[in-house]
Amino acid sequence: MLQNKNVLLGVSGGIAAYKACALTSKLTQQGANVKVIMTESATKFVSPLTFQALSRNPVYTDTFDEKNPKKIAHIDIADWADIAIIAPATANIIGKMANGIADEMLSTTLLATQASVYIAPAMNVHMYAHQAVIANMKKLESWGYHFIEPGAGYLACGYVGKGRLEEPETIIETIKNHQAGSALFSGKKVLVSAGPTRENIDPVRFFSNRSSGKMGFAIAEAAANMGAEVTLVAGPSQEEISNNNIKRIDITTAAEMYEAMLKYYNGSDIVVKAAAVADYRPKETYAGKMKKQAGDWNIQMERTNDILQTLGDRKENQFLVGFAAETSNPLDYGKKKLKKKNLDAIVINNVAAEGAGFSGDTNVVTYVNKQDETKNLELASKQDIANKIMQFISNDMKGETM
């Protein structure tokens, strides 16, 4: 996967910079063309000459050191790169990337590149757990950057914990696996629903639920990152998309989501219904705001269309996946839903479990396919969960066991 790939390796200033030497060597051995950019701080730990010898290419340390007068160096390298790896990535360079700061060669080049960027953090355990660093990493992840988590162990500062730069072999293997997965759904059309619906009572009131849309948006991002052409039908949500392969259709009500899903259903290869659609809506709505009155106010409700059941009934060649958010006996209810609605797979979660709520950034789920193969996914970020779900879907479509 790395043969003849142009790899930009960014080395920032930490003691783990010595591991970047081995990473450079191993990337070269894999057949990659490697160019190294070092921050000034990185040069305090390792000489640029070392990376020049290992990569067989000039090493860049200064934005204004233009080695070829016909080209602007940081733009030329940014355009040249197929893959960018930041290893080690300090809290400083992560903060610059997350806030658009470009004040030296590496940060300037990263701001200009369109390459896939892999970030391998390395820092003190308390720095890695700091709210600012966590917020910066979440922001970058939401923009489509890929993180290679540090290992745990004895750190140079004397602490023991998470923050040690992952080993070069693992970094390379992670990137190779991700690059292979990036074409997993090439040529496939994926339809995803996400978020809640809102059922109006009057111009200022509505019925809804606690869904944030985060899980559905993560599914859409995962599918797009794996090469699919994605249509995302989204209820009211604060979530944003960052992949150009995602077409977003914004809706408000269950009826609007029903129409949108049916519109794109026939042309889809894979359909993942992650939205939390209202089962009921007010039978009567009001054009003006209802005023407060003495006594109770009774609102009669009527059923909305069962979107997932309709999709299951009309299924032809689509691979149809549903979600089941439960608070008691989730596995039993989920498996019943799988059969009743003619699904190919279902993702089940207990929303009352710690770390699995609607608005959080993490989830805990169980994936079950129609062959009754079950895979439990422990607490992880919703993006990680989404990546694994899409991998399971791929395996099922190929007839492979999980």
DSSP string, 88-141: EE-HHHHHHHHTT---SHHHHHHHH--SEEEEEE---HHHHT-HHHHHHHHHHH
Identify the pLDDT of residue 352.
78
DSSP state of 245: T
Is residue 7 within 8 Å of residue 82, measured between CB atoms?
Answer: yes
Segment 12-35 shows an average pLDDT of 96
Spatial separation of the C-alpha atoms in residues 33 and 22, rounded to whole Å: 15
Checking 96-102 for CB contacts under 8 A at 24+ apart, the result is 97/136, 97/140, 97/145, 98/135, 98/136, 98/137, 98/139, 98/140, 99/136
Residue 135: which pLDDT band, with cuts at 50, 70 and 90? Answer: very high
Segment 197-225 shows an average pLDDT of 94
Segment 192-204 shows an average pLDDT of 96
* Closest alpha carbon to 120 in 20, 265, 241: 20
Identify the pLDDT of residue 353.
81
Is residue 59 within 8 Å of residue 24, measured between CB atoms?
Answer: no
Identify the pLDDT of residue 159.
64
Give exposure, 98-129, as e/b (b: 16+ Cβ within 10 Å).
beeebebbbbbbbebbebbbbbbbbbbbebbe
157 catalytic per annotation: yes
Identify the pLDDT of residue 402.
55
Condensed to tens digits (0 to 9), the pLDDT of residues 249-302 reads: 999 999 999 999 999 999 999 999 999 999 999 999 999 999 988 989 899 999
Residue 307: which pLDDT band, with cuts at 50, 70 and 90? Answer: very high
Rounded to the nearest 10 degrees, the angle between the axes of helix 382-398 and helix 214-225 is 50
State both tokens at 247.
């077409």
Q: Is the pLDDT of residue 361 over 80?
A: yes
Identify the pLDDT of residue 152.
67
Identify the pLDDT of residue 355.
77
Of 157, 262, 299, 377, the active-site residue reads 157
Identify the pLDDT of residue 401.
62
Q: Tell which wins on pLDDT, 143 or 13.
A: 13
Helix (H, G, I), strand (E, B) or coil at 241: coil
Q: Tell which wins on pLDDT, 361 or 333.
A: 333
Strand residues in 245-387 grouped as ranges (E): 246-250, 270-273, 280-282, 301-303, 319-326, 345-350, 362-369, 374-381
Burial of 283 (0-12, 13-18, 19+ CB in 10 A): exposed
Identify the pLDDT of residue 189.
97
Segment 208-234 shows an average pLDDT of 93
Spatial separation of the C-alpha atoms in residues 93 and 13, rounded to whole Å: 9
Spatial separation of the C-alpha atoms in residues 60 and 57, rounded to whole Å: 10
Spatial separation of the C-alpha atoms in residues 16 and 171, rounded to whole Å: 14
Identify the pLDDT of residue 69.
81
Q: Is the pLDDT of residue 351 over 90?
A: no
Identify the pLDDT of residue 100.
96
Identify the pLDDT of residue 160.
64
Condensed to tens digits (0 to 9), the pLDDT of residues 57-86 reads: 999 999 998 878 888 889 999 999 999 999
Residue 157: which pLDDT band, with cuts at 50, 70 and 90? Answer: low
Q: Which domains does the chain have, with CATH numbers?
A: 6-181 (3.40.50.1950), 189-279+297-398 (3.40.50.10300)
Spatial separation of the C-alpha atoms in residues 395 and 377, rounded to whole Å: 16
Condensed to tens digits (0 to 9), the pLDDT of residues 364-400 reads: 999 999 999 999 998 888 888 998 999 999 999 988 7
Segment 317-337 shows an average pLDDT of 93
